[in-house]
């Protein structure tokens, strides 16, 4: 599974915010209160009408978030909240349990052929879509075959999880066989990321070359036809989205009589909503506010190991036209050596983070432990840049890039760059930028912040014009600062720097054919130790080339009112129980 991750939250305190900043939140808080209250009443009314029985004072789990659901289309989304929402409305073959082992979701059991190329899944019988149509193996086979058919374009966002799949076939209503070109070592980890779609709804949307699949907006055609524990009856991108329990869900039912996910413009407003009793739960406690939230009455704070990493993203497109010195790993390493990660951890994350070196992060058991560490040493960084020939100007003290030919051919210019930052992060990216800026300044390198907008807008700055020729892609930025949420299996995070992920998940524009070949090889390497060797080597390639400078791996911090129990915060994005397990005693 993967989501470009962001649990999108604006910085805890806006840069240069006026003294009346908190007071200016009050109109929003009142509006959110009214909307959420009305929605809770509506959800409970629907649940009662369906036999669920509850009242407006209890039963609906009210979640506050500074993220938003940008899309409910598995072929066209970027936000973490979108992934979680789709997990709640669409079936999957398997999901993770509390021990991070695989268990069946729609699949009851599975077997493998002797040669490892054919995986047979027995699906739960008598499952139904929320519109009453049968949910069968034909839907699962259609989803896989359609995704594979249009993998190079319309379905690319989802297709990485189906690498090496030849096709799928429905043997009967409850049996689907997935045929692979070669044995694959992480089939269940890949299929966990596949949302099974109703063919009778999505089939007519395919259009020419599958492009209709990418442009379809199920969130505008409510209620969404799904078969998970919920269906969505109200959608507001930056408002409140209503999850109504689906009575015929094939798995354990929701303990809540409904879920209301309400968007707030920043994390401070979310916490205010929690303290005021407007919401019951949030997974986005600002790091610098953790201690204060812990002191709030009737609030429980939970800290868990996190899968989210922050980084400096370097444009690694070999054809980028400007500032080509930033393609040189030696230059990027020198700049990175003067970034004080300890200060970032202390100031931005209030200590709730650790250093990280690998793209896959600490959550993966296949994280390469032998990378780095990259030590903070500005003196050595200055010496390295001097040796590379980037001398400081005698008049401005800014380093100069001389006119060069060869690999990094370009005209002379200053070492002055923009760093793109999104507004949608769950850490104070502005403060992180300030620390990076100060470090670069100590090296004679000037950077300015370019606020790229929300996740969709900022990602578009990185990718460039994906509707045009390749020459227009990954050419308009030099550096970005962002985050990723990784997976237990490292396949997805390793895929984001392949050429095949351009204009899909790639945010670097990296183009390394040798690496891409290794990526394909690890996918069909069944022996665990042989695959580990390949995965370690790939992480080292990413590290040595400085496609990213990894900064931190931070903890996940949840807070909920004590009138709700049985939360499973570590299963965010890994299991449907993330929403279905909370209950009111």
Q: pLDDT-derived band of residue 18, with 50, 70 and 90 as boundaries?
A: very low
In a domain, 47, yes or no: yes
Q: pLDDT-derived band of residue 265, with 50, 70 and 90 as boundaries?
A: confident
Report the CATH number at residue 422: 3.10.105.10
pLDDT at 54 over 80: no
In a domain, 3, yes or no: no
In a domain, 1, yes or no: no
Give the pLDDT of residue 266: 86
Contact 582, 564 (CB under 8 A): yes
In a domain, 508, yes or no: yes
Q: Are 450 and 542 in the same domain?
A: yes
Q: What is the mean pLDDT of residues 265-290?
A: 93
Q: Are 252 and 365 in the same domain?
A: no
In a domain, 7, yes or no: no
CA separation for the pair 514, 521 (Å, rounded): 11
Q: Are 425 and 535 in the same domain?
A: yes
pLDDT (tens digit per residue) in 412-454: 999 999 999 999 888 999 999 999 999 999 999 999 999 999 8
Q: Are 36 and 126 in the same domain?
A: no
Q: Are 101 and 176 in the same domain?
A: yes
CA separation for the pair 74, 466 (Å, rounded): 19
Give alpha helix (H) positions in 446-571.
455-463, 491-495, 513-523, 528-545
Closest CA to 498 of 526, 469, 466, 520: 520
Q: Are 328 and 467 in the same domain?
A: yes
pLDDT at 372 over 60: yes
pLDDT at 19 over 60: no
Q: pLDDT-derived band of residue 455, with 50, 70 and 90 as boundaries?
A: confident
Q: What is the mean pLDDT of residues 150-177?
A: 96
Please state the domain count of the chain. Answer: 3
The structure's pTM equals 0.84
Report the CATH number at residue 108: 3.90.76.10
Q: Are 294 and 315 in the same domain?
A: no
Q: Are 344 and 462 in the same domain?
A: yes
CA separation for the pair 162, 483 (Å, rounded): 24
Q: Which helix (H) or strand (E) holds 390?
A: none
Closest CA to 222 of 88, 128, 130, 139: 130
Computed over every residue of the chain, the mean pLDDT equals: 90
In a domain, 413, yes or no: yes
Q: Are 455 and 344 in the same domain?
A: yes
Q: pLDDT-derived band of residue 579, with 50, 70 and 90 as boundaries?
A: very high
Domain that holds residue 140: 94-205
Q: What is the mean pLDDT of residues 532-549?
A: 99
Give the pLDDT of residue 28: 40
In a domain, 17, yes or no: no
Q: Are 134 and 264 in the same domain?
A: no
Contact 341, 355 (CB under 8 A): yes
In a domain, 79, yes or no: no
Q: In terms of C-beta density within 10 A (0-12 exposed, 13-18 middle, 19 or more buried), how is residue 256 classed?
A: buried
pLDDT at 386 over 80: yes
Q: Are 568 and 517 in the same domain?
A: no
Give the pLDDT of residue 35: 47
- Residue 291, φ and ψ in degrees, nearest 5: -60, -40
Q: Which residues of 75-100 are buried (b: 16+ CB within 10 A; e: fewer)?
A: bbbbbbbbbbbbbbbbbbbbbbeeee
Query: 34 or 238: which carries more pLDDT confidence?
Result: 238
Q: Are 548 and 575 in the same domain?
A: no
Domain C-terminal end among 149, 171, 205: 205
Report the CATH number at residue 238: 3.40.190.10
Give the pLDDT of residue 24: 30
């Amino acid at each position: 599974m993967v989501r470009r991750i962001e649990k999108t939250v604006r910085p805890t305190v806006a840069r240069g915010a006026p003294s009346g900043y908190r007071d200016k939140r009050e109109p929003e808080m009142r509006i959110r209160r009214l909307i959420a209250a009305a929605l809770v009443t509506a959800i409970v009314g629907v649940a009662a009408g369906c036999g669920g029985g509850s009242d407006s004072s209890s039963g609906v789990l009210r979640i506050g978030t500074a993220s938003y659901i940008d899309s409910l289309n598995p072929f066209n989304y970027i936000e973490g909240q979108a992934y979680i929402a789709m997990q709640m409305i669409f079936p999957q073959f398997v999901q993770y349990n509390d021990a991070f082992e695989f268990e069946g979701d729609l699949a009851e059991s599975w077997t493998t052929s002797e040669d490892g190329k054919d995986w047979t899944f027995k699906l739960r019988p008598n499952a139904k879509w929320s519109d009453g149509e049968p949910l069968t193996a034909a839907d699962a086979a259609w989803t896989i075959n359609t995704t594979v058919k249009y993998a190079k374009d319309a379905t690319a966002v989802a297709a990485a999880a189906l690498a090496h799949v030849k096709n799928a076939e429905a043997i009967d209503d409850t049996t689907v066989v997935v045929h692979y070109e070669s044995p694959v070592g992480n089939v269940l980890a890949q299929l966990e990321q596949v949302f099974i779609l109703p063919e009778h709804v999505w089939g007519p949307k395919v259009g020419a070359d599958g492009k209709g699949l990418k442009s379809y907006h199920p969130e505008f055609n409510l209620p969404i036809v799904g078969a998970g524990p919920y269906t969505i009856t109200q959608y507001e991108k930056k408002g409140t989205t209503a999850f109504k329990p689906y009575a015929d869900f094939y798995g354990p039912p929701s303990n809540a009589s409904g879920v209301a996910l309400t968007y707030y413009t920043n994390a401070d407003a979310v916490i205010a909503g929690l303290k005021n009793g407007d919401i019951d739960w949030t997974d986005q406690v600002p790091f610098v506010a953790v201690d204060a939230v812990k002191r709030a009455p009737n609030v429980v704070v939970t800290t868990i190991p996190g899968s989210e990493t922050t980084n400096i993203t370097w444009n690694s497109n070999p054809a980028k036209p400007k500032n080509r010195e930033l393609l040189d790993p030696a230059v990027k390493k020198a700049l990175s050596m003067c970034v004080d990660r300890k200060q970032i951890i202390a100031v931005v994350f209030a200590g709730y983070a650790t250093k990280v070196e690998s793209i896959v992060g600490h959550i993966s058991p296949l994280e390469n432990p032998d990378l780095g560490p990259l030590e903070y040493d500005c003196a050595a960084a200055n010496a390295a840049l001097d040796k590379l020939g980037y001398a400081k100007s005698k008049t401005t003290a800014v380093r100069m890039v001389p006119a060069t030919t060869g690999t990094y051919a370009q005209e002379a210019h200053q070492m002055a760059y923009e760093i793109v930052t999104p507004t949608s992060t769950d850490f104070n990216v502005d403060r992180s930028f300030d620390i990076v800026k100060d470090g670069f300044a100590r090296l004679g390198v000037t950077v300015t912040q370019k606020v790229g907008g929300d996740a969709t807008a900022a990602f578009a700055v990185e990718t460039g014009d994906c509707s045009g020729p390749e020459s227009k892609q990954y050419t308009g930025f030099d550096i970005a600062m962002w985050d990723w949420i990784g997976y237990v299996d490292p396949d997805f995070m390793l895929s984001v720097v392949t050429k095949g992920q351009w204009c899909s998940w790639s945010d670097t524009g990296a183009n390394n054919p040798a690496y891409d070949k290794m990526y394909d090889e690890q996918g069909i390497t069944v022996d665990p130790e042989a695959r580990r060797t390949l995965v370690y080597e790939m992480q080292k390639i990413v590290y040595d080339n400085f496609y990213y400078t990894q900064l931190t791996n931070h903890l996940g911090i949840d807070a909920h009112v004590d009138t709700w129990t049985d939360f499973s915060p570590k299963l965010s994005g890994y299991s449907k129980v993330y929403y279905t397990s909370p209950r009111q005693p």
